[in-house]
């Protein structure tokens, strides 16, 4: 039980995928304009991350290792992730068409979200057990959601503020992200 | 031959493994896709709910629903003059796309108007009644017509069919207080809000005046409402302590007015939508009945013609018989 809590705290705060490991920056910048959208994206990514880390563990342990094909792990993980993303897409198109529309290209782009592949590969590298892999993925998703939602809430406030012209748009977003990253450095060495 | 076998397995195993993986995933995806098949697009409904429902057709589509469908398929959101800036902002917000200024080639944004029939001149031709998309014109052939003002959307579709030009569009009387708009207030030179919080201590109804100010300034009505805009009693205490002398209460008044207008427009639009749907049903029914009546008449005419010819033949035979009898 303690190890699972440690994994979760480690993935969410200490080694946050976005702010400390700099993975998954594309949706972090791209869909953080509105809190509502960010929550949708977070939910989708959380779902994909958890499911993808479980599936890629199974594929690695029960398909690649017995056949001695460990060197195929990257390509097969990409296939697994792409499948999970397509599945999420189909389900979301049915259950929440508006969110599907708003997320647009960023939804299929979860496939190329490096946090997702990163978690799958890190799981193999750290030779985690099945439960640990799933919780590592879940924690990474929670960490991603946390910073994405915080960041989008800040950007929503920023749109109403008097920002000097050269800093408007992406520039102030980058600065904000940098400051958030600095704040998250405070967690380092906790686990 | 034995030397090539390991090479073959070396090649075949990964290929088969990936193929198997692909097949398995394909099967799962196919199952999910058939399970979550999409029937209709609910996005259209959401867009339609934001349109003003005047059914005026200025966007180039025959009504608000077709335009909603076009927007869902990727058309521009700035073709609705009656909706104006508010509708464009709401659509942009819903679809998460940048708001555009109104495309004025589709018409100018106008103040709200309603149709008015100069009753002395009306000849009771009833041509305007089917033209009204919301059935707001009351009347019958050879009787004077009049417009139900509360139902009229000011779409001007009744003007064109009127043969004697007795319909005018008159501006709606509003009794709103003259308040400066947010745009006007934004151009006023004041010092910036420094979030000092002096106004918060003053507010007797526990609003956060500085937060509310930012929402009003950005015309974010939803945020303004959630920041308790409607709790403001306009006492002006925040105004008096503001070190940057921002006209806070004026901002709140302007936003309240915008908020109320939006709410009124919304209820009006919902009503118009309902009436438009009923109008369509009614027109459909009239057309169907007309068709049935025409068919019946045609049948009757055919039958009548047949029986008439038979009668004439019989009568002629009778006449011939009666002529022959005496012989």
> What is the 3-class SS of B1-33, one letter each residue?
CCCHHHHHHHHHHHHHHHHHHHHHHHHHHHHHH
**Local confidence band at B296 (pLDDT 50, 70, 90 cut-offs):** very high
Residues in chain B closer than 8 A to A83 (CB atoms): 25, 28-29
Range of the domain at A40: 23-175
Q: Does A189 fall in a domain?
A: no
- Residue A40, min C-alpha distance to chain B (Å): 13
In a domain, A180, yes or no: no
Which residues does B207 contact at the CB level (< 8 Å), separation at least 6?
B227, B228, B229, B231, B232
Is residue A26 scored above 90 in pLDDT?
no
Check whether B23 has a pLDDT greater than 50: yes
Q: In CATH, what number does B111-175 get?
A: 3.30.70.20
Is A17 within the bounds of a domain? no
Q: Is residue A2 part of a domain?
A: no
Compute chain A's Rg from CA coordinates.
17
Q: Report d(CA A87, CA B36) in Å as an integer.
A: 10
Q: Are B128 and B135 in contact (CB under 8 A)?
A: no
Per-domain boundaries in chain B? 42-106, 111-175, 177-327
Asked if residue B40 has pLDDT above 70, the reply is no
Q: What class does CATH assign to B42-106?
A: mainly alpha
> In this structure, are residues A120 and A84 in contact, taking their beta carbons and an 8 Å threshold?
no
How many Å is the Cα radius of gyration of chain B? Answer: 35
Instruction: Note the pLDDT tens digit of each residue in B56-113.
Output: 888 888 888 889 888 888 888 888 888 888 888 888 888 878 888 888 888 777 677 8
Q: Is residue A186 part of a domain?
A: no
Q: Look at residue B314 and give its three-state secondary structure.
A: helix
Q: Give the count of domains, chain A.
A: 1
Q: A160–B96: do the CB atoms touch at under 8 Å?
A: no
Question: Distance between CA atoms of B285 and B304, rounded to whole angstroms?
Answer: 28
Is residue A144 very low, low, confident or very high in pLDDT (cuts 50, 70, 90)? very high
* pLDDT value of residue B255: 92
Residue A31's pLDDT is 84
Question: Band of the pLDDT at B249, cuts 50, 70, 90?
Answer: very high
At the second CATH level, the architecture of B177-327 is: Orthogonal Bundle (1.10)
Whether ipTM > 0.85 holds is: no
DSSP class of A8: H
pLDDT above 90 covers a percentage of chain B that reads 18
- DSSP assignment letter at B167: E
Q: What is the pLDDT of residue B4?
A: 64
Contact of A107 with A37, CB cutoff 8 Å: no
Residues in CB range of B87: below 8 A, 6 or more apart: B50, B51, B52, B80
Q: Please give the pLDDT value at position B1.
A: 45
**Helix A73-95 and helix B4-35, axial crossing angle in degrees, nearest 10:** 10
Residues 58-117 of B with CB under 8 A from A: 94-96
B61 three-class SS: coil
| B32: β partners | none
Q: Confidence band (pLDDT; 50, 70, 90) for A36?
A: confident
Q: Using the beta-carbon criterion (under 8 Å), do B21 and A97 form an inter-chain contact?
A: no
**Residue A55 within a domain:** yes
To the nearest whole Å, the CA of A35 is away from the closest chain B CA by 11
Are the beta carbons of B288 and B218 closer than 8 angstroms?
no
**Is B218 at the interface with chain A, CB within 8 A?**
yes
- Alpha helices by DSSP H, chain B: 4-35, 42-50, 64-72, 84-95, 128-131, 182-187, 198-202, 209-217, 221-226, 237-241, 248-324
| DSSP 3-state of B115 | strand
Task: Find the residue in A nearest to B20 (Cα).
Answer: A63
Query: B230: which DSSP letter?
Result: G
Q: Does B191 touch chain A (CB under 8 A)?
A: no
The secondary structure of A59-74 as a DSSP string is: HIIIIIHHHT-GGGHH
Task: Report chain A residues whose CB lies below 8 A from the CB of B25.
Answer: 79-80, 83
Asked whether residue A191 is domain-assigned, the answer is no
**What confidence category does residue B241 fall into, taking pLDDT thresholds of 50, 70 and 90?**
very high
pLDDT tens per residue, range B253-276: 999 988 988 888 888 888 888 888
């Amino acid at each position: 039980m303690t190890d699972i809590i440690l994994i979760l705290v480690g993935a969410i705060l200490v080694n946050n995928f976005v702010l400390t490991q700099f993975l998954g920056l594309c949706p972090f910048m791209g869909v953080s304009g509105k809190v509502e959208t960010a929550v949708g994206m977070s939910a989708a990514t959380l779902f994909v991350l958890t499911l993808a880390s479980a599936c890629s563990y199974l594929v690695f342990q029960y398909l690649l290792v017995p056949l001695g094909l460990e060197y195929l792990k990257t390509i097969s993980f990409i296939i697994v992730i792409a499948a999970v993303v397509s599945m999420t897409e189909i389900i979301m198109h049915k259950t929440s068409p508006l969110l599907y529309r708003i997320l647009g290209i960023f939804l299929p782009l979860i496939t190329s979200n490096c946090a997702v592949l990163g978690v799958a590969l890190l799981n193999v590298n750290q030779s985690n057990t099945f439960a640990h892999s799933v919780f590592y993925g879940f924690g990474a998703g929670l960490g991603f959601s946390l910073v994405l939602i915080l960041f989008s809430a800040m950007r929503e406030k920023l749109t109403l503020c008097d920002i000097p012209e050269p800093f408007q748009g992406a520039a102030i977003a980058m600065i904000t992200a940098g400051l958030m990253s600095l704040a998250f450095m405070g967690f380092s060495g906790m686990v | 031959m034995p030397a090539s076998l390991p090479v073959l397995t070396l090649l075949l195993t990964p290929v088969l493994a990936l193929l198997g993986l692909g097949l398995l995933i394909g099967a799962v995806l196919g199952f999910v896709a058939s399970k979550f098949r999409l029937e209709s697009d609910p996005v259209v409904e959401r867009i339609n709910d934001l349109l003003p429902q005047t059914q005026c057709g200025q966007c180039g589509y025959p009504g608000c629903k077709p335009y909603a469908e076009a927007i869902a398929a990727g058309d521009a959101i700035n073709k609705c003059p009656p909706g104006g800036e508010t509708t464009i902002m709401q659509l942009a917000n819903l679809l998460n796309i940048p708001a555009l200024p109104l495309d004025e080639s589709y018409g100018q944004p106008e103040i709200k108007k309603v149709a008015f029939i100069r009753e002395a001149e009306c000849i009771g031709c009833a041509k305007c009644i089917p033209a009204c998309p919301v059935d707001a014109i009351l009347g019958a052939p050879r009787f004077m017509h009049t417009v139900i003002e509360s139902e009229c959307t000011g779409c001007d579709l009744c003007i064109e069919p009127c043969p004697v030009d007795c319909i005018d569009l008159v501006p709606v009387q509003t009794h709103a207080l003259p308040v400066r708009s947010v745009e006007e207030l934004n151009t006023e030179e004041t010092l910036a809000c420094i979030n000092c919080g002096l106004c918060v201590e003053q507010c007797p109804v526990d609003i956060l005046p500085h937060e509310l100010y930012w929402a009003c300034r950005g015309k974010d009505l939803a945020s303004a409402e959630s920041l308790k805009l409607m709790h403001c009693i306009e006492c002006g205490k925040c105004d008096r302590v503001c070190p940057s002398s921002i006209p806070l209460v004026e901002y709140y008044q302007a936003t309240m007015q915008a908020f109320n207008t939006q709410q009124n427009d919304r209820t009006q639009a919902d009503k118009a939508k309902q009436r438009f749907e009923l109008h369509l049903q009614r027109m459909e029914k009239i057309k169907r009945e007309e068709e049935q009546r025409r068919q019946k008449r045609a049948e009757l005419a055919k039958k009548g013609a047949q029986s008439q010819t038979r009668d004439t033949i019989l009568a002629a035979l009778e006449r011939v018989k009666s002529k022959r009898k005496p012989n």
